[in-house]
Amino acid sequence: MSRALLVIDIQNDYFPGGGLPLHQAEDVEGRIVAAIGQARKAGERVVLVQHVSNAPAGLLAAGASGTEIRPAILAAAGEAPNVVKQVADAFHDTDLSGYLEGVTELLICGMMTQNCVVFTAISRAAEAFNVIVIGDLCTAPTEAVHKIALNALSSKLRVAASGDIWR
Q: Write out the chain's pLDDT in tens, 167 residues.
A: 699 999 999 999 999 999 999 999 999 999 999 999 999 999 999 999 999 998 889 999 999 999 999 999 999 999 999 999 999 999 999 999 999 999 999 999 999 999 999 999 999 999 999 999 999 999 999 999 999 999 999 999 999 999 999 87
Domain segments of the chain as ranges:
3-165
The number of CA neighbours under 13 Å toward the Cβ of 32 is 35
Separation CA 132–CA 20 (nearest Å)? 26
| Phi, psi dihedrals of residue 9, rounded to the nearest 5° | 55, 45
* Active-site residue set: 116
Beginning with the edge strand found earlier in the chain, give each strand of the sheet holding 105-111 in spatial order. 82-85, 45-51, 3-8, 105-111, 130-139, 158-160
- The helix or strand, by DSSP H or E, that contains position 18, with its residue range, turns out to be none
Nearest to 10 by CA among 98, 71, 57: 71
pLDDT of 133: 98
Q: Is this structure's pTM higher than 0.85?
A: yes
pLDDT of 167: 77
Instruction: Give the residue ranges of DSSP H helices in 3-61.
Output: 25-41
Kindly state which CATH superfamily the domain 3-165 is placed in. Answer: Isochorismatase-like (3.40.50.850)
| Phi, psi dihedrals of residue 47, rounded to the nearest 5° | -130, 130
